[in-house]
Every structure is written in structure tokens, then in C-alpha cells.
Amino acid sequence: MGQRSRSKRCCGWCIVLVVVALVAIVLVITLTNKIGLSEPVLSPVPGSPGTVQKKYGVALKVAMQFFDVQRSGKLVNNKISWRGDSALKDGSQAKLDLSKGMYDAGDHLKFGFPMAFTATVLSWAILEYGDQMQTVNQLKPAQDSLKWITDYLINAHPSKDVLYVQVGDPAADHKCWDRPETMTAKRPLTQVNTSSPGTEVAAETAAAMASASLVFKSIDAKYSSSLLEHAHQLFTFADKHRGSYSHSIPEVQKFYNSTGYGDELLWAASWLYHATGDQSYFDYVTGKNGKAFAKWGTPTWFSWDNKLAGTQVLLSRVSFFGSKEIANSENLQNYRKSAEAVMCGLLPKSPTATSSRTESGLIWVSEWNSLLHPVASSFLAVLYSDYMLTSRTAKLSCDGDSFGPSDLRKFAISQADYVLGNNPMEMSYLVGYGEKYPEYVHHRGASIPEDATTGCSDGWEWLESTEPNPNVAVGAVVGGPALNETYVDSRNNSMQGEPSTYNTALIVGLLSGLVTSSSVAKSFT
């Protein structure tokens, strides 16, 4: 009898617990719907990387290889069969070794401005998602590619107020169609200095050095310290001797024209703050320079030329994870509010969603290198989504409507999937990924057979050839589709078919953020 009574009481308590649980679930659902969230109020904190998303893992391995395709200099452990040593004498006229670094695109020029941006973005990707890269064995290749660039940047900065920002003459280089291994065009050097300043390129190089110093901090302390010393010097040079490199070197306006240097100063100072914790850099971005250059509340597109959106997301990191005193800084909050405006502009269901999209939903801003902006925007969206997850920030308000971290991630996935083949052309714009991708990429080395004997001018036959490229520029992200979502796969179509190294850095960051379901670490210092 007594046992039976206990059983009845146990059953009674079970019923009560079930009812309580159901009520709790209903309350959570009600609260979630009430505030417009697409996930529970409390989100997971970072732990071990989640299950690998095979598609993105495979794509990441493919994308990473384009850094090997673009390497200049004496190739070590060369993984690209049709590539060999090239540009071994670069810098020799100034008694410098500028043989390393990476070619910018399908030609053989080394432009310091976009190359430094490539290094900064790659550093950021490693710092946030290195553990996820490791799940598909891509962390070491990413670190090696980064060092190939930073080795070059160190040598390009021989004294505190001198930075070599270009190797090669664009006019002469573009008169040739040849392989980098056999190129014969002269390789002049271009520098910025106190009499010919280049604030944006010096500041971007400082950002690259500062961010990379964090990557190598636990791997090679001496190298990390050297990078940080260069970063300090370059930032001081950039800030003290203000002037656009587009004015000092008018020739660059045809290739990588700068629209202003204020964003690079804030970007570099933000990275130096992360690398050092020095309050002076925080004061720099939140003080008068922030007021002068930040354009708070005005969404912008993240690219090699404009770093404002990237700076806003990077400084939002401080707002999410910094001390209460720092996080409550009024102007730091202005950066975060601006980052939120950028995110709201990307979300297709937001009241403030940008109309700069194709019919299928791809962000589309420019006919030249059209994939730059959707990939760059998606990288920032994944980062911001993970900052929200890690900090258990449940919602983002867009002009009265609320969105959660999963909404940002869903947007980023839509853009990544478009690049990987979910588009009207049913073509992957990542060369080497999927069953169908561009075969006539505008890339000299890929278009000329490895055993061909060509000089500067007799290689043009390979540009005009109707045959697909004999070599696959594996990992290249081509320029991308037109606004009407068509793509003409022609070697002469450089507007759509030429890849760039910085596009690769951005998609590596995006894919690394999607390869597993893990959120970011609170600190990477």
C-alpha cells in the first residue's frame, strides 16, 4: 500500500513537471515571437567547432590554393604544378629583396595597397576562425600564405618613412602576355615617403602588420614583435605625413585609385589597439579622428578602398567583449550602431534593406569585379552574427523590426551558395569547385601552356585562343556576373573573368566562418 502511494505521488509530480516544462516552452516561444527573434533568447557561447559543413570545407580547400597560384619569388614546397620561380630580382635595384609577395590578379604586378588589404583580411579570418580552418587542415596553409605576404611587406619598409608600394610598370606589363616565370618587362619600384606621402597605403600596411602580429604571437614571438614594430612606424608615418598616394602617384588612379585615407587611419588604429591594448589607439578612433573620418550612421561597402564597415565591425567586437568602461564609450557605441546599420542594409527583409541586388538576391554594386561586395559583406555578416552568438545578444533592431544572429548567417549563406553555383547560370564562380566553373579565366599563367616558349609579344596567341585554359587557376574567384546575372566566359572579358587575390582572402574568411557552426572566441590577443 505504501509503495503504491509513493508511485501515485511520483506520477503526480511527473505530471506537474511536464506541465511546467510545457508552460516554459510556450513562454519562450511567445517571447521569441513577440520580439521577432528567429532563435532562443540565450544563444550558445563558443566551444569546440561544430560539425563540418562538407560543402564549405571543400570550397575552402579549393579557395586557399589561389594564394599558391599567385605567389612570386623562389617557390618553396610548390603545390601548383604549372607554377615556378619568378621575379627573383624584384627590388634588387634598391638592394632589397622584394621577390616574395603575390601578384595582384591575372597580370604580374605587385600593388602594395590591395596586397596589404589581402593580408589584413586573411589575418582577421585566421584570428576569428583558425580553429574552424584547422578542422579541414587549412590553418597552416593560411598562416604560410599570410607570411609570404608579410615577409614581402617587411622588406618593402626599409626605413620608418619609406614604403615601397608597387613593383612593375603597369603600362609595360600590360603590353605583354607571358608567364611570370619568363617575363622580360622591366620591374621598376615605386615608393611613398615624406615628400611623396601615401597615407592610405602606409596605414593599410600598418593594419596588415598589426593584425598579422596577433596571428604569429604564439607561433614566433620574435617575428610577431618585428611586425608590430613596423606597424607602429608605418602608422606614425601615415598619420604624420598625410596625403593620398593617388595624388603622389597619379599613375595608380587607373588601377587602385584611393577615394580617401581617413578610413585606413581608423582601420589601422583599430588593429593596433587590438594588437597592443594601448589606450592611445582607442582614443584615436573614438576622439577627433573618429569624428572627422568615421561617418557614423552612414552605411558603406567594405572593400580594398573603403575600410569603414570593417572598422565598425572590428570595433563592435570591443563593444561586445570589452570591459564595461570601454564598452560604454559613446563613440564606440556609434561604431556599433553604424555596424548595425550595415547589417540591416544587408538583410533582405529589413525595412532598410539595400536595393543593390540582382533578381536572385546577390548583392550587386559594381560591374567590375561584381563579387567583391557580396563576398566582403557576407564575411562581415558572419562575423557580426558570431559576435552576437558569443555575447548572447539575441536581437538586432532594424528600424523597429528585430532580427537575430541566424538571419545574418542565412544571408551570408545565400551569398556564398550563389558564388558556389546556386545561381541562374548554374555555374560556380570559384574556379576548381563543382562540376561547372569558368574555363577561360583572364589569367596569363593559367592561359599559357607550361612548356610554351613565349616572349612579351608572341604570347598574345594564347589570349586569343579558343581553347580553354591549359592550366586551372584553382581557387580563383572571378569578377562575377552582370546585373542581369549572365556571365560570358571569355579570356578577353577581364571585367567578369579576372580574379584577384583579395577576393580570395575575403571568400576564405567567409567560408571559414561557415565551415562549422562554432561562434568566435571572445579574445584573440
> For the sheet containing 189-192, what is the strand order?
110-111, 163-167, 189-192
> In the numeric block, which cell numbers belong to residue 303?
572593400
Report residue 191: phi and psi, to 5°: -130, 160
Contacts of 516 (CB under 8 A, 6+ apart): 49, 50, 51, 52, 53, 132, 135
Cell, residue 210: 598589426
Q: Looking at the DSSP assignment, which residues form a beta bridge with residue 357?
A: 363
Catalytic residue among 108, 157, 230, 442: 442
Residues 6+ apart with CB under 8 A from 356: 363, 364, 365, 373
468 C-beta neighbours (distance < 10 Å), count: 15
d(CA 441, CA 106): 8
State how far the Cα of 335 lies from the Cα of 383, in Å rounded to an integer.
15
CA-based nearest residue to 153, from 230, 44, 245: 230
Helix or strand (DSSP H, E) at 189: strand 189-192
Report how far residue 264's alpha carbon sits from residue 239's, in angstroms, rounded to the nearest whole number: 10
- Residue 153 near residue 166 (C-beta atoms within 8 A): no
**What type of residue is 73?**
G
- What value, to the nearest 5°, has the Cα angle with vertex 502 and ends 482 and 196? 110
Alpha-carbon separation of residue 468 from 87, 183, 273, 461, 518 (angstroms): 26, 22, 48, 13, 40
**Gap between the Cα atoms of 213 and 231, Å rounded:** 9
Task: Let me know if 442 is a catalytic residue.
Answer: yes
Active site residues: 442
